[in-house]
Amino acid sequence: MSAAIATSPADANTPAGANPPADDRLIVALDVPDALAGLKLAETLGDAVSFYKIGLGMLTGGGLALANELKEEHGKRIFLDMKLFDIGATVEAAVRGLARFDLDFLTVHGDPHVVRAAKEGAGGKDMKILAVTILTSLDRADLDAALIREGAIPDLVVERAARAFEAGADGIIASPQEAALIRALPQAEGRLIVTPGVRPAGAALGDQKRVETPASAIANGVDHIVVGRPIWQAADPRATALAILAELNSPDAQRRSL
């Protein structure tokens, strides 16, 4: 399955004229049909992108093999988006198995017992456990239909984030609209905020409902943004990724304070 993928220099000793290291604040979601399509997209993006997300949709299409190849052969960082949820013993066992793949990020549901079990399963590995708060594809009507208790979504997200941090989460998954509130939590110091629900200006929302632009997300305190369809559905995925990266370094992306 191997293909030639350009990699970026890893340190400050980059030769004059060479491309600088890719900005890992951008995570590209490989939400394509299978591992071969994912590898082709990574080849197209080349040294512009250093961090990839592999989700449930890719799992049966060779996702773990793709993760291993991108990590071991091409030096990319890998975010495995599994959103694990089960009894503690099962989550712990699943995470212990996944930790063998030398992943960078792994998602679990933000319930405290799940987070604690995942941290136990990670066993001190460098893999960061990220707790999902409320999916960015949901709004209050969706929560009502699921019989999730009343309250404004930002309040519920912040409460879930605080509890996940207290349970040991290395970071959380949340909408960029809630990022500033989460970043202001005392428990958030030194923790990661990773957010989907990011769309460049003018891009189709798809199934996302609580969205912001890349610059706004970073300004609100997000550490990493996850972008999928706006990149891989673009006529020129690499140019689109580079435009997003440029936006992350624009004056509009300067971090705000509450």
Tell me which residues are annotated as active site.
83
Structure tokens at 130: 């990220």
From first CA to last CA, the distance across the chain in angstroms is 48
162: left (phi over 0), alpha (psi -120 to 50) or beta: alpha
Q: Alpha-carbon torsion 55, 56, 57, 61, what sign?
A: positive
Pairwise CA distance, residues 19 & 210, whole Å: 34
Pairwise CA distance, residues 181 & 174, whole Å: 11
